[in-house]
Amino acid sequence: MRKCNEWTIYEKNEYNLLKELDFKNHSRKGYVYLLEYGNDVKIGTTKQPYFRIVELDRLAKNYSKTCTGSVAISPMHTSRFENEKKLHELFSDKLIGNGELFKTTIKNILDNIPFGYLTWENKEEKFGNAEDIAKIFHGGKHNVSMRKTRSPMFVCFSEEFDLRILELQLFYGIKKEDVLEELKDFIEENVDIKSYEKRYQIETELDNPKTIDICEYFSELSELAIKFLEKLKERQLDF
């Protein structure tokens, strides 16, 4: 483990040290990461660096026939989604396809981020009543407090997700059913959803979960869902 500017770089044999950074709550706080993915670099964001990096390493081996390497982790901050987008834009000429892989190195990225380009903000945003928003989104059928009593580990969607999907419905006329169908496809393209489904059933003792239930439970999937809505809003998905 070593420092480079404000980033901390972990070698692959130091992944276990990332466990100390993982957390779950409704905060926007989290990290931006730069992960060596074969000969490329994946630029992403997460609240759980250990779980996310280990999952990506497994996916790299099983589906891409490659492996991960060193990973650079930013300071914890609330403006992580904005910073991730800034880095994607800054190195857009290195982008491979439409994903998050870039034909570059961690060193090249860290050496070419302009001074002051990224801001490590820690200001939390305030939203409306989460349960009221959830009732609107789920047609009054989703009882957050009841689900929490079923499992103390349950992590419901952040207010941010519900507000964003309401915005899509109100201002863009996109149907909720269409959003959820596209969300399922997007999640399945990025992670092994079956493994999450199995963990969900074991931990909650609830059968036949929907994709949205699994996303609500696991914060890393909630992040993917929020990212999906951002892409949808920008018309980057073929909806």
| pLDDT, tens digit (0-9, with 9 covering 90-100), for 85-138 | 999 999 999 998 767 899 999 999 999 999 999 999 887 654 444 444 444 444
Q: What's the pLDDT score for residue 26?
A: 55
Q: Which residues, in sequence order, are CB contacts of 59 under 8 Å at separation 6+?
A: 191, 192
Reference 101, options 15, 52, 39, 10; nearest CA is 39
User: Higher model confidence: residue 235 or residue 182?
Assistant: 182
pLDDT of residue 156 exceeding 60: no
Q: What's the pLDDT score for residue 133?
A: 44
pLDDT, tens only, 48-87: 899 889 888 888 887 778 899 999 999 999 888 899 999 9
CA distances (Å), origin 41, targets 21, 22, 35, 105: 21, 21, 5, 6
- How would residue 140 be classed by pLDDT, with cut points 50, 70 and 90? very low
Task: State which amino acid sits at residue 136.
Answer: I
pLDDT of residue 213 exceeding 70: yes
Residue found by looking up tokens 């899509």 in the block: 168
Q: What's the pLDDT score for residue 212?
A: 76
d(CA 200, CA 208): 10
pLDDT, tens only, 19-58: 999 876 656 788 999 999 999 999 998 888 998 898 888 8
d(CA 232, CA 182): 9
**Could you give the percent of the chain with pLDDT greater than 70?**
74
Contact by Cβ (8 Å): 6, 120: yes
pLDDT of residue 161 exceeding 80: no
Q: What's the pLDDT score for residue 89?
A: 94
User: With a threshold of 0.85, does the pTM exceed it?
Assistant: no
Q: What's the rounded mean pLDDT across residues 205-209?
A: 78
Q: Which residues, in sequence order, are CB contacts of 49 under 8 Å at separation 6+?
A: 18, 21, 22, 31, 33, 71, 73
pLDDT of residue 145 exceeding 50: no
| Assigned token pair, 27 | 């905060």
Q: What's the rounded mean pLDDT across residues 196-225?
A: 80
